[in-house]
Chain A
């Protein structure tokens, strides 16, 4: 009998299950969304451009992406110049804590902002990243949240989640980027298109409700 035979076989550790995002903070994995063919250029100047696409519609909201690209005109030597900190093209960076420090009011003011407005006047503008602690009940619709983002110093793609599809009317996507002298503007999203897509999203399976999920229907 070997030394280790006197011990019970080792049991592999179980991966801890992360609590799911509540439905008002991100798309649900048990839903097959409906993609929409929407591509809109929001801002373009000599050095930056911002466009939205990647629209995926769920029964109670929709996801989309904001892509920012940075253009450095000139020769390769100019393009290789060091980029000032923060080395990212993320236009939302000023909304989130960095190095444990909350953003300053000026950083928040200069950051890219995007929001939605229903035809009945209800509106919301995106806040910084992160699940709100103690958030156990769904807030008022609409709600706009940052989800995952990826990119580099020359390009950034940021996911956003809008909770709540209006029962009637179109939806305005509003945006502004004070740091790039881009005043508030809007893009109109077809409410019927959103509602039709939401009706065709498929629930693949029923998820057990996490404690505090509340009522996704708001």
Chain B
């Protein structure tokens, strides 16, 4: 089943993560929840720009990173902007490619993680993203890597409990059986 099809046929299981990823004088970056399907999961990532943030930080926050014209992004913007990636315990890993902003619409799920954005919205000083990881590891935790050099967040990592993830996947419920016609 394709990733988009699985999402459209499943009630996911929510894991309340409530994880603050970074809290600086300019921004609070946090991950409120995971939504787990049978063979993939979504991670919600949210940012709140503090009112004390510099004008330069505000511009970087609201300009190209969250909602700007993607065609205006330079390689340096991408390198210094918000970067996200995951790594499984067996070493398989993937990083978010901003140019690949949609779910793959054809072919079977990749055997390893594939990471893409499923939703992005932003408002003044606020952004809410969801990224999709199209695999669930058989064993071990998932490490979420992130950095946002333009806003002073160096490479950091937060660990997702793999057992909780796999249990949530087992508890997701399929709404309709897949059509094979």
- Measured CB to CB, the residues of A under 8 A from B are 15, 17-18, 29-30, 32-39, 41, 44, 49, 51, 53-56, 69, 71, 73-75, 148, 150, 154-155, 204-205, 207
Q: Complex formed: what's the CA distance from A18 to B123 in Å?
A: 10
13 inter-chain pairs at a CB distance below 8 angstroms, sorted by A residue, are: A30-B48, A32-B30, A34-B16, A34-B18, A35-B14, A35-B32, A38-B14, A39-B13, A41-B11, A49-B176, A55-B14, A148-B121, A204-B28
Chain A residues closer than 8 Å to B176, beta-carbon distance: 49, 71, 73
Chain B residues with CB below 8 A from A30, complex form: 48
Measured CA separation A155–B119 after assembly (Å) = 13
Q: Which residues of B contact A (CB under 8 A)?
A: 7-9, 11-18, 20, 28, 30, 32-33, 35, 44, 48, 50-52, 62, 119, 121, 123-126, 173, 175-176, 179, 181
The answer to whether A29 and B48 touch across the interface, beta carbons within 8 angstroms, is yes
Neighbouring A residues of B48 by C-beta, 8 Å: 29-30, 32, 204
The answer to whether A35 and B17 have CB atoms under 8 Å apart is yes
Among A39, A54, A73, the residue within 8 A (CB) of B179 is A73
Q: Find out whether the CB atom of A204 lies under 8 angstroms from the CB atom of B50.
A: yes
Most chain A CB neighbours (cut-off 10 Å) among B32, B119, B173: B32
Residues in B with CB closer than 8 Å to A54 are: 14, 33
Query: A212 to B71, alpha carbons, bound, how many Å?
Result: 40
| Given contact pairs A18-B124, A29-B125, A71-B176, A35 touches B16 in the complex (Cβ within 8 A) | yes
With most chain A CB atoms within 10 A of its CB, the pick from B8, B12, B52, B126 is B8
- Asked if residues A37 and B15 are in contact (CB atoms below 8 Å), the reply is yes
Residues of A within 8 A of B50 (CB): 204-205
Q: Which residue of A lies closest to B175 (CB)?
A: A49
The answer to whether B32 touches A39 (Cβ under 8 A) is no
Q: Look across to chain A and name the residue whose beta carbon is closest to the beta carbon of B124.
A: A18
Q: Are A74 and B181 within 8 A (Cβ)? A: yes
Q: How far is the CA of A69 from the CA of B37 in the complex (A)?
A: 15
Considering the complex, give the chain B residue whose CB is closest to the CB of A33.
B32
Given contacts A71-B175, A150-B119, contact A32 B14 (CB under 8 A): no
Cα of A187 to Cα of B15 in the assembled complex, Å: 20
Contact A32 B8, CB 8 Å, known A150-B119, A204-B48, A204-B50: no
